[in-house]
Structure 1
């Protein structure tokens, strides 16, 4: 037996178990995270800047922030303010000077008062999260510089199974922005209870009787029970904590925060499905070559690895385990209206971007990121699996408990919307649904 084959056999995983990407996996075949060419919104913007097709205006107060957001088509209604020191520019962040975060479907921009750089995360269809900075000092030719090493310490940690991605956290912080880890903290996504969200963030908007951790500046002497009693929901004006004129808007919109929490983990699961499927197929190819069977059919093991990589994506994009709202949520910045109007819409005017905000986040619980470049760029084996599973659930064939939250009307509506708006659906999607 060759040494190469022995090494391959050592990495085979037990049946039904996910092979989490180890930290070194992202730099080996077939990923090559740092060396692979990038094709994302920021790389395209940099090319346009170098070609003289676009320039970034400089603002004396905000530097390149307004110009960058405009060039990237990121609305300032998405502004969210975080005062915990959970950024590479932590020295700039306090409760009085929070970091502002802006986003659209594929890009995230961080701004700190007196910060040396703008922090940018752009989602690449093949690589997932790719990190950049833009110096805030005025320059003749501003340059978007890729950053990997520093950012990956947090963004490709064990929390993301070693795969570059987004991290949204909720933890109590003091007036200086220092996280009070002794009081506990949470990683936040669409399954998180409202009461565990937004620690270290300002939150504008109303959540009714639903309490949360936002808007609260803590002290080390507090215990979690005391802090729960000190909750400050239903805030529409942040001027008691900061100067709104120091930011593009005076908002830290609750609906933007909720959409962000869905979107970031959805991007993470798309990237994991991409990476882990590519790694599984590569490992099988190398194994077959070593065995002298380069055209062997796909093994049961590889099929199970693809399922383990992709089933979590299916569950998340259909909002399995989503926390239920018990009161109406309403933002303040206009983000909800700006987000929903982007569509696309079917012949009855329905869109996956339509918000519910009374019992759940979306009216039609299937992620709008199904339209994204990243989803469309999934390896064929992964995309085939995901689309087949979506059809099984939406057609009513799969009635398992993971999808029990979807009523027959929900499934029918989502199916009809996707048939009308999603390009290149498999032919079997046109088969009449059950019921």
Structure 2
């Protein structure tokens, strides 16, 4: 263990010991240290250089069936923090579900997932990368202005210690490059972007490639058309497909099931999607954006096939949510400040057998969706209605840009008709290939 992690571990251990002395029956403590640096540019000039550091800790204590949580800066006195947390717990209502996980669920052998890259990226290098990405984007025909480019580097250390004897730590790094540009003039302006985000600096996409892609994506949106209202086949670009998977993730979250706020409640073991759809959540992917050695409660991490050939197999569960549903946690506890919820890690819709080009050819005529906006998704009913833009598909090819339309359907129907292409990019924590579904309603002119 490096000195950075050992410092965090010692701090969390002192906090747990203080909770015991203050009268807690059980407790867990988290210590987090993060730092980041970013440079933003616009039209060849540096607009801002930002650097931030934070050093925080939180304590969760249990007194009988009562629980309370507090958070504070790392410089806070452990004894005072523990006494305050225990006093809060004693006057809290009983919580029949909260508590530390069973000891046999705790992670003991922590794998090396290669989540930390010690590369120090100077402000000068970040500036060079941001400027290079912007310059490449501005060089594309049709691009008229820049919305800005950026480059960033950061790291975070996470430590968890419990009164049950668990102690674990890991450190992760994150690097990024992005650029957004404008095509056209006046009311006919169009905007788009491209970015790259990786755990290791050397894995980042080249700045010039990022800029070129941003420029090309933006330029091809010029002079969009409106389409008449009708029923269509929809093909979702991977960017939008990731948001579709995000809706599925929310619908199979155990917290949503416990609150009865999902249209998939009661569907465990049933067919909820096309047999072509398999969804895997894998916290142990080396260098994965969502990878972790253990969950927010110290529970062992393991891959899960959430949906197997369309059949729902699991909810995302933390300890408390699992107990409320009379199930065991599956290591998906997510620490959010002083609260532990449930969530995914590296979640992906597995790829299909056809290329995006073959998928478009099979569709013939339809709508290729590259952007959605608005909040028209209701996970209680599954109703889906969002503003959209993209490209019209004619004769199996992208024919012309489309904007100012709305697409609508129901997620239950969309999942049952969904087909994946073979272009999955696993570098995102929520990853999906190009997806096709039907029928959907396009509301236009």
User: Shorter-normalised TM-score: what interval?
Assistant: under 0.3
From the two aligned structures, give the one with the greater strand fraction.
2
User: Max radius of gyration: which structure?
Assistant: 2
Task: State the TM-score, normalizing by the size of structure 1.
Answer: 0.27
Task: State the TM-score, normalizing by the size of structure 2.
Answer: 0.26
From the two aligned structures, give the one with the greater helix fraction.
1
